[in-house]
Amino acid sequence: MSAAEGPLVVGVDTSTQSTKALVVDAATGQVVASGQAPHTVSSGAGRESDPRQWWDALCEALRQCGDAAHEAAAVSIGGQQHGLVTLDERGEPVRPALLWNDVRSAPQARRLIEELGGPKAWAERTGSVPGPSFTVTKWAWLAENEPEAVRATRAVRLPHDYLTERLTGQGTTDRGDASGTGWWASGTEAYDAETLAHVGLDPAMLPRVVRPGEVAGTVRDSHDLPFSKGTLVAPGTGDNAAAALGLGLRPGAPVLSLGTSGTVYAVSRRRPADPTGTVAGFADAHGDWLPLACTLNCTLAVDRVAALLGLDREAVEPTGVTLLPYLDGERTPNLPGASGLLHGLRHDTTAGQLLQAAYDGAVHSLLGALDLVLDADADRSVPLLLIGGGARGRAWQETVRRLSGRAVQVPEAKELVALGAAAQAAGLLTGEDPAAVARRWNTAAGPVLDAVERDDETLERIAGVLSDAAPLLERSTDDR
């Protein structure tokens, strides 16, 4: 047995490229064991993964946790949002899952917006204007391009739902992840019958939406994971909502997350509905809202530029060059067919200046949405919480400080998605709000970097290039 003060819980983060598991002491927040295993994502026009890889990776991550995983009293899964998982009558994947960063459904997104009342109607109904990341557009793409797969589908799940169901045998989801589908109405907090009928999706194929604090189920007999039969399984949630729990966020505290994708978000008491589509009106995992803006190109894109230049990712130099690193298309701004764009190249331009320009372009996209995410009465002096894989990189930190003009706090806690899932699992045992559990664990503690004067010149230069290049960036890949 472990020397933990309280019961043990397991929090899982099944992300785009790997699955991580933490065994956490529910009393103190101490991580007593951890494990991680990778999965693959297809390249080319689409971004797909076999859901069975996520399960295998979860098994391996928990195996690495050793005996501590056997002692867990509750478990929760946090997962990448939006992914379309289609299952047959045996519960097996019909085809690989279409992931959030698969933008092939951009034409279907545009068509659905037009056919169901326009952007304002979508924002009022679902809280968001669907882009190609949203699950509803992926289902529409599948129906149009692979009708045989649709005919074979008996259940539709999100990534975290798939793993939760393999634990419990029951199809469940939560309001946070459901709010990213495009077929969950934020006003009624229920599946939207009109949208489902329009895309030909039987609501009986969707999982039950479990309420915050409710038990999704218990671990069943027929599985190969090191949990005892009857171990409590929490609702789980999407990765951003899980990270918000992991930080113990209070309304008005802004977060900038630097991962494969970049996100800015904050908890709000007000239901968001942005008709421009910049801000997604997501629900959070404990009854409030999580207005969020997301970019497709963040750390992965900048690292790719560094690799092309043969540079360490920290080898930046002050620059006047503009680089829009839209290597996978872009979501914010909404340019799904765009590619990267470089402007201002000179004979004396250095590789380090090009790399800094990639950082500037990635951060510019995120900061442009920050004021839209925050409520009008939010305190702008509150430090910007910097999380994700890039948060500890000096070049990322300094770029965010310079372009935001805000103080930046870097939490010392790692794996905040898995920690948020663990806090949700702990809440099942203690009856606490999971965010309060995370605050008790002091997960947001970390150094604060003072504000510096905002670099308005760079922001204006990037905005100007973006505006001037709009006709080029708006061309779809097929038009080039």
Beta bridge partners of 18: 38
Paired tokens of 187? 């006003």
Which one is catalytic: 25, 239, 274, 360? 239
φ, ψ (nearest 5 deg) of residue 81:
-80, 165
Q: Give dist(CA 184, CA 180) in Å, integer.
A: 8
Q: CA 219: distance to chain centroid?
A: 26
Q: Is 239 among the catalytic positions? A: yes
Q: CA 460: distance to chain centroid?
A: 28
The helix (run of H) or strand (run of E) holding residue 64 is: helix 51-65
Q: Give dist(CA 277, CA 423) in Å, integer.
A: 31
CB neighbour list of residue 412: distance below 8 Å, 6 or more residues apart:
445, 446, 447
Q: How far is CA 243 from CA 221, 247, 255, 432, 465, in A?
A: 30, 6, 10, 17, 33
Which DSSP string corresponds to 155-206?
EEE-HHHHHHHHHHSS-EEEHHHHTTSSSEETTTTEE-HHHHHHHT--GGGS
Helices 135-145 and 106-115: crossing angle in degrees, nearest 10, is 110
Nearest CA among 29, 407, 26, 87 for reference residue 254: 407
Q: Give dist(CA 289, CA 129) in Å, integer.
A: 16
Which residue type sits at 16? T
Nearest CA among 62, 75, 76, 67 for reference residue 3: 67
Nearest CA among 342, 339, 365 for reference residue 475: 339
Q: Give dist(CA 219, CA 223) in Å, integer.
A: 8
Which DSSP string corresponds to 214-243?
---EE--SS--SS--TT-EE---EEHHHHH
Beta bridge partners of 191: 184
Q: Which residues are catalytic?
A: 239
